[in-house]
Chain A
Amino acid sequence: MGAAEKPVPGDTLIGKRIAKLDAPDKASGKTRYLHDLEVSGALHAKILRSTQVHARIVSIDTRAARALPGVHAVITAADVPWQRPIGVGKDHLPLKTDRVRSLRDEIAAVAADSEQIAEAALKLIRVQYEPLPVVATPEEALAPGAPLIHPEPRGAGEGPQLKTAGLPVAFAGKPDNIAMTFAYEQGDVAKGEAESDVVIEDVFRLHYVTHCCMGVSGVIAEFDPGGNLLLYSNTQVPFLHKREFAELLGIDPARIRIIQPPIGGGFGSKLDIYPFEPIAIFLAKITRRPVKLVFTREEEFLASPTRQPVLLKLRSGCRKDGTLTFRGVETVHDNGAYTSWGATTPFVMMQTISSLYRVPHCKYFTKAVYTNNPYAGSFRGYGNLQATFAVEAHMDKLAEAVGMDGLAFRLKNAQDPGEVTPQGMHFKTCGFKQCLSTAAARSDFLRKQAENRARWSDPGPVKRGIGIASMLHVGGGAKIYPSDGCGTILKVDDFAHVTLITGASEIGQGSETVLSQLVCEELGLPMSAATVVNNDTDITPWDVGVHASRTTFIAGNSAIGAARKAKAKILAAAASKSGIPEDQLELRGGCIVRKDGGERLFELGKFLRGLHFSDRAELVMTTFYYEPPSKHQDKQFKGDVSAAYAWATQVCEVEVDTQTGIVRLLKVTGAHDVGRVLNRLGIEGQIEGGIVMGQGYALTENLMVEAGVVRNPSFRDYKLVTAPEIPEMDVNFVETMDGEGPQGAKGVGEAPAICIAAAVANAIHNATGKRITALPFTPENVYRALHGAAEPPRWSAAA
């Protein structure tokens, strides 16, 4: 892999290896993350969490804690009767009132002069519980007579919109433990099944993993004397959260300002509001001091949202000529005790089920079920890893059943540019087949697959396998909110320095660098000419947030729009001054030049100063709001929800030691349809990181939840992939030049993590003849599967 290059002035920046703008400060230790910020007069907060998985709270005695020197406030739900429920399902009160429903539940909180005093105060809080039966699985939750996780509150009146005086609950409780359901249909699966020559059915179990951002969660809340709230938050959706916090606190959203310090990783973990944030705000309000709350790593494991665990039943079929006929999917989602984004992963899962490869008939149903387990949130890929794991297992099995090789079978069913899927997704650019062919060719897939198979009865215990899988994900935003847009404010100053003020947040993925790159490309300026402002809701224009791999596409188009307006203004003035028509002028190498021949006419800085200090006194300041031309889905979940779609194929080569179950990932050959490579260095980094995250999901990471208890809340026993374990990576790009994408680019942030586990599963089968349908492929799990000592996932009858 090459290093960053110094672009030649006048040469295009697109496709080059551009160093990340904030990297020098980060590598020097200068960058101040939220944890590093010192706010004058700040108190330190800690949260008391439940010691019971499911229990009634009988009493909370905070007297001793309050009396501890250095403690400024100790609060429970009784101190904040005005608190409102948070979260996607609005079923989650920050401080619990009458009961706890999971081990992470927040019961009390302390603000003190130091972290140490706050921790000591927590130990002095006495809580009396009356244990309730633990509902450890969705199956238990759905059994007749199961305890209700969210029963009606005491003193409830009638009707679903409860607002009983003195009882801060707006969530009425449900007659059963079902949090949400999703149903989708296209065509007629019964017809599809009838037309099939092969029908297969399997149950897949996808497990709990967690984000493990290297920077733990935290927040700093500060009210000014006028009651305006300043929040230092690592939210990935600052404008949405501004509005939500305002609703929570019953204040005007205009009185909330969110500043986003540099973040120690996001990956989707910061797309919802979690109790610790309102709790810090409550403490700031009550103490009238700034309050800083930072998790410990153990707390991060115990209290952060996880990836959505899924039990999935897939029934699919094809004709003997290899064309897919139908897919029928039912899933049970363990919703945990409260509803966060995990419950909504069906939005994405159904897209994969309905449209990853061409399938005329499809039926999909999810039941998200309350339990006393940790709740799941959004996590890079957002349900797509789980759905792809099932779909790509069946692609291999169906291919085998009809006697076609896995590549030919996939190519036969892969879509072409211009197709519109039955779910309404319009694949304007589509590099699916090139991804398949490229990855298979470069990895020598077919030959190795055959060779490995031939070695199944070889005596040695170590077997090699190769597996292929593809993914489909949105690549041009996702119109799930009223707007999927992003605003940009841009100025070019007297010295041809451009300031780009964007609503798009930087979460480590390099958005600030790629946006600068796009703007500098338009204006013919070097990267050093750009400054990005992107972290203050008082300054930056609205953006819906960092999710759905949308930032390069949407914020990129927004930045280009503002830059083009600036360019038009400059060239119009240059045309006026030079007498040369605008369409014969260009910005290049820091100058205004003749398009043909490149003759330099004006040096840009000097020209702008001339504009400024003239009678016209013109400054170059522009704005642009970009809304992608995608559609909201209708009530049947159909619609062209993204402005572009992206594909990737990954081929994974593994080595399986059948005497220990250890699976080593040797090599990943990937081909990604990214529209166009913008920052080659940045996009490689995203893909390499996504591959290794996928490797962790497949092989090493396992958040062990038993009866509501996280058994391994530490890096010692929750295994992230380390440097010695990474595979050789051969990353390839397919540039389909998307018409709507900025310089032709499509989104890629989530893609590389999505189909690794699916490809590894197929590789393990190629190595051993064994198809394992439950993750993770940890040594013991694989060993058991290989030696007939594993129970394959069972579809829950109660579901």
Chain B
Amino acid sequence: MLPIQTYQVPKSLEEAAEILRASNVTLFAGGTDVMPQTRAGRVKLQPVLMNLRRVPELRGIDEEGGVVRLGALVTITEMLESALVRDRLNLLWQSCDHFASDQIRNAATVGGNVCNASPAGDTLVPLLALNARAVLAAKPNGALQVRRVPLTEFFLGPGRTCRAPSELLAAVEVPLPPAGFAGEFYKHGTRPGLDISAIAIALGARRDGRVLRDVRVAFGSVAPTPVRAPRTESTLEGRTVDAALLETAARTALEEVHPISDVRATDWYRRELIRNMLKRVLTHVCQL
């Protein structure tokens, strides 16, 4: 049992933002992170517990003007069942298929996954690769304000983001990748989904024969946050993929990651995996 002073269930985004402005709040939607973390004492509960699930503005998957808007309350299952996500944001869709279990996917939300900011967060790695942005809402001076932060700037450290305590993640916006963009999400584990990854890779690009363009590479579980790998992307951009380039890309990637040793894997092994699996993913994407 957790001691909570006030329980709030806002019915609109404005109401939610107002509560956030006025108090110290712990937010939850599916509860799949908040419940175990607060009970284990890993996260401290604020005096106000706020349930976001009745805020309609936070729902829905829509596409407009070349941008897919994923409402913060969109569940992993909803993304899995969305033809739009499957067909146009396939890299993200792949991560949803490797996300925990059916029971967790039915409750967990993309907003929760993003705000939890685990370096091992499954959807975060492809979202980074897809240039996604966080849409943050707040009501600092009586009027609802919205700002957008690229996810590359949003994650600050394990469990830490640049969301201010008075801000609410309203949605994640993902610009549609260019036509012909395809990719692969790799999550290391012995199980399809129920593992916390030792490493994760999202790689997407437009394939032009064996030349890759518009290359995006992101890694998970090898740094304090999920990370893009711009130098690795540069080594690949516009180049013909052959055995030598695979080596170069892998070597560069190893310079861009800073894995640690923990109960799941050692840093040495994570580096080996990055090297071996980046090459393998590239091989698949290039259909070598």
Chains A and B share a contact (CB less than 8 Å): yes
Chain A residues within 8 Å of B, Cβ to Cβ: 116, 659-660, 662, 664, 699-700, 704, 711-712, 716-717, 719, 722, 724-725, 779-780, 783-784, 787, 789
Minimal beta-carbon separation of B63 from chain A (angstroms) = 33
Q: Tell me if B22 is interfacial: C-beta within 8 Å of chain A.
A: no
Q: A780-B265, A780-B266 are in contact. Are A659 and B276 (CB under 8 A)?
A: yes
Q: A780-B266, A789-B268 are in contact. Are A716 and B196 (CB under 8 A)?
A: yes
The A-contacting residues of B in range 187-206, CB under 8 angstroms, are 188, 190-192, 194-196, 198
Q: Tell me if B1 is interfacial: C-beta within 8 Å of chain A.
A: yes
Given contacts A659-B280, A789-B268, 18 further A-B contacts (CB under 8 A): A116-B1, A659-B276, A659-B277, A660-B188, A660-B273, A664-B190, A699-B190, A711-B263, A712-B263, A717-B263, A717-B264, A724-B192, A779-B188, A779-B190, A779-B198, A780-B265, A783-B272, A787-B272
Q: Which residues of A contact B276 (CB under 8 A)?
A: 659-660
Report the nearest A residue to B276, measured CB to CB: A659
Q: Tell me if B7 is interfacial: C-beta within 8 Å of chain A.
A: no
Minimal beta-carbon separation of B200 from chain A (angstroms) = 13
Report the nearest A residue to B280, measured CB to CB: A659
How far is it, in angstroms, between the C-alpha of A711 and the C-alpha of B190 when the chains are bound?
20
How far is it, in angstroms, between the C-alpha of A503 and the C-alpha of B194 when the chains are bound?
41
Contact between B268 and A725 (Cβ–Cβ < 8 Å)? no
How far is it, in angstroms, between the C-alpha of A787 and the C-alpha of B263 when the chains are bound?
21
Contact between B263 and A660 (Cβ–Cβ < 8 Å)? no
Contact between A719 and B190 (Cβ–Cβ < 8 Å)? yes
> Could you list 19 examples of A-B contacts with CB < 8 Å?
A116-B1, A659-B280, A660-B188, A660-B277, A662-B190, A664-B190, A712-B263, A716-B196, A717-B264, A719-B190, A722-B194, A724-B191, A724-B192, A779-B188, A779-B198, A780-B266, A783-B269, A783-B272, A784-B269
Q: Which residues of A contact B269 (CB under 8 A)?
A: 780, 783-784
Report the nearest B residue to A704, measured CB to CB: B263
How far is it, in angstroms, between the C-alpha of A660 and the C-alpha of B194 when the chains are bound?
18
Q: Which residues of A contact B266 (CB under 8 A)?
A: 780
Q: Which residues of B contact A779 (CB under 8 A)?
A: 188, 190, 198
Contact between A700 and B190 (Cβ–Cβ < 8 Å)? yes
Task: List the 3 closest pairs (A to B, CB-CB), nearest first.
Answer: A659-B276, A116-B1, A780-B269
Minimal beta-carbon separation of A688 from chain B (angstroms) = 19
Minimal beta-carbon separation of B120 from chain A (angstroms) = 11
Q: Which residues of B contact A659 (CB under 8 A)?
A: 276-277, 280
How far is it, in angstroms, between the C-alpha of A717 and the C-alpha of B188 when the chains are bound?
14
Contact partner of A722 (CB less than 8 A), chosen from B188, B191, B272, is B191
- The interface bits of chain B over 254-273 (1 if a CB of A lies within 8 angstroms of the residue's CB, else 0) are 00000000011110110011
Q: Which residues of A contact B268 (CB under 8 A)?
A: 789
Minimal beta-carbon separation of B267 from chain A (angstroms) = 11
How far is it, in angstroms, between the C-alpha of A779 and the C-alpha of B263 when the chains are bound?
13
How far is it, in angstroms, between the C-alpha of A784 and the C-alpha of B269 when the chains are bound?
8
Q: Which residues of A contact B194 (CB under 8 A)?
A: 722
Minimal beta-carbon separation of B230 from chain A (angstroms) = 25
How far is it, in angstroms, between the C-alpha of A779 and the C-alpha of B276 when the chains are bound?
14
Report the nearest B residue to A779, measured CB to CB: B190
Q: A116-B1, A659-B280, A783-B269 are in contact. Are A725 and B264 (CB under 8 A)?
A: no
Interface SS of chain B: loop
Contact partner of B190 (CB less than 8 A), chosen from A712, A725, A787, A789, is A725
How far is it, in angstroms, between the C-alpha of A420 and the C-alpha of B198 when the chains are bound?
51
Q: A116-B1, A789-B268 are in contact. Are A725 and B277 (CB under 8 A)?
A: no
How far is it, in angstroms, between the C-alpha of A779 and the C-alpha of B273 when the chains are bound?
11
Minimal beta-carbon separation of B163 from chain A (angstroms) = 25
Report the nearest B residue to A659, measured CB to CB: B276
Report the nearest B residue to A661, measured CB to CB: B269
How far is it, in angstroms, between the C-alpha of A527 and the C-alpha of B196 when the chains are bound?
47
- The interface bits of chain B over 170-200 (1 if a CB of A lies within 8 angstroms of the residue's CB, else 0) are 0000000000000000001011101110100
Q: Which residues of A contact B263 (CB under 8 A)?
A: 704, 711-712, 717
Report the nearest B residue to A117, measured CB to CB: B1
How far is it, in angstroms, between the C-alpha of A783 and the C-alpha of B277 when the chains are bound?
13
Minimal beta-carbon separation of A64 from chain B (angstroms) = 17
Minimal beta-carbon separation of B285 from chain A (angstroms) = 16
Q: A660-B273, A780-B265 are in contact. Are A725 and B191 (CB under 8 A)?
A: yes
Minimal beta-carbon separation of B116 from chain A (angstroms) = 14
How far is it, in angstroms, between the C-alpha of A711 and the C-alpha of B264 when the chains are bound?
10
Q: Which residues of B contact A787 (CB under 8 A)?
A: 272
Report the nearest A residue to B196, measured CB to CB: A716
How far is it, in angstroms, between the C-alpha of A225 and the C-alpha of B198 when the chains are bound?
57
Report the nearest A residue to B192, measured CB to CB: A724
User: Which of B188, B191, B198, B266 is most buried by chain A, counting CB atoms within 10 A of its CB?
Assistant: B191
User: Which of B190, B265, B268 is most buried by chain A, counting CB atoms within 10 A of its CB?
Assistant: B190
Minimal beta-carbon separation of A286 from chain B (angstroms) = 26
How far is it, in angstroms, between the C-alpha of A617 and the C-alpha of B219 when the chains are bound?
83
Minimal beta-carbon separation of B102 from chain A (angstroms) = 11
Q: Which residues of B contact A116 (CB under 8 A)?
A: 1
Q: Which residues of A contact B272 (CB under 8 A)?
A: 783, 787
Report the nearest A residue to B275, measured CB to CB: A659
Report the nearest B residue to A700, measured CB to CB: B190
User: Which of B192, B263, B280 is most buried by chain A, counting CB atoms within 10 A of its CB?
Assistant: B263
How far is it, in angstroms, between the C-alpha of A683 and the C-alpha of B200 when the chains are bound?
41
How far is it, in angstroms, between the C-alpha of A116 and the C-alpha of B276 when the chains are bound?
49
Minimal beta-carbon separation of A70 from chain B (angstroms) = 13
Report the nearest A residue to B199, measured CB to CB: A660
Q: Which residues of A contact B198 (CB under 8 A)?
A: 779-780
Minimal beta-carbon separation of B27 from chain A (angstroms) = 22
Minimal beta-carbon separation of A657 from chain B (angstroms) = 9
How far is it, in angstroms, between the C-alpha of A286 and the C-alpha of B194 when the chains are bound?
45
Q: Which residues of A contact B188 (CB under 8 A)?
A: 660, 779
Q: Which residues of B contact A700 (CB under 8 A)?
A: 190
Report the nearest B residue to A780, measured CB to CB: B269
Q: Which residues of A contact B195 (CB under 8 A)?
A: 719
Q: Which residues of B contact A711 (CB under 8 A)?
A: 263
How far is it, in angstroms, between the C-alpha of A789 and the C-alpha of B272 when the chains are bound?
11
How far is it, in angstroms, between the C-alpha of A722 and the C-alpha of B193 when the chains are bound?
10
How far is it, in angstroms, between the C-alpha of A660 and the C-alpha of B280 when the chains are bound?
11
How far is it, in angstroms, between the C-alpha of A592 and the C-alpha of B172 when the chains are bound?
77
How far is it, in angstroms, between the C-alpha of A619 and the C-alpha of B188 when the chains are bound?
67
Minimal beta-carbon separation of B260 from chain A (angstroms) = 14
Minimal beta-carbon separation of B57 from chain A (angstroms) = 33
How far is it, in angstroms, between the C-alpha of A500 and the C-alpha of B154 when the chains are bound?
67
Q: Which residues of A contact B280 (CB under 8 A)?
A: 659
Q: Which residues of B contact A724 (CB under 8 A)?
A: 191-192
Q: Which residues of B contact A722 (CB under 8 A)?
A: 191, 194
Minimal beta-carbon separation of B266 from chain A (angstroms) = 7
How far is it, in angstroms, between the C-alpha of A265 and the C-alpha of B277 when the chains are bound?
39
How far is it, in angstroms, between the C-alpha of A780 and the C-alpha of B268 when the chains are bound?
10
Q: Which residues of B contact A725 (CB under 8 A)?
A: 190-191
How far is it, in angstroms, between the C-alpha of A289 and the C-alpha of B280 when the chains are bound?
64
Q: Which residues of B contact A717 (CB under 8 A)?
A: 196, 263-264
How far is it, in angstroms, between the C-alpha of A716 and the C-alpha of B196 when the chains are bound?
8
The A-contacting residues of B in range 53-96, CB under 8 angstroms, are none
Q: Which residues of A contact B190 (CB under 8 A)?
A: 662, 664, 699-700, 719, 725, 779
How far is it, in angstroms, between the C-alpha of A53 and the C-alpha of B276 when the chains are bound?
40
Minimal beta-carbon separation of B195 from chain A (angstroms) = 8
Report the nearest B residue to A784, measured CB to CB: B269
Report the nearest A residue to B2, measured CB to CB: A116
Report the nearest A residue to B264, measured CB to CB: A717
Minimal beta-carbon separation of A300 from chain B (angstroms) = 15
How far is it, in angstroms, between the C-alpha of A435 and the C-alpha of B178 when the chains are bound?
60
How far is it, in angstroms, between the C-alpha of A712 and the C-alpha of B195 when the chains are bound?
14
How far is it, in angstroms, between the C-alpha of A699 and the C-alpha of B196 when the chains are bound?
17
Q: Which residues of A contact B1 (CB under 8 A)?
A: 116
Minimal beta-carbon separation of B283 from chain A (angstroms) = 11
Minimal beta-carbon separation of B21 from chain A (angstroms) = 32
User: Which of B198, B265, B269, B280 is most buried by chain A, counting CB atoms within 10 A of its CB?
Assistant: B269
How far is it, in angstroms, between the C-alpha of A787 and the C-alpha of B272 when the chains are bound?
10
How far is it, in angstroms, between the C-alpha of A719 and the C-alpha of B191 when the chains are bound?
10
Minimal beta-carbon separation of B177 from chain A (angstroms) = 28
Q: Which residues of B contact A716 (CB under 8 A)?
A: 196
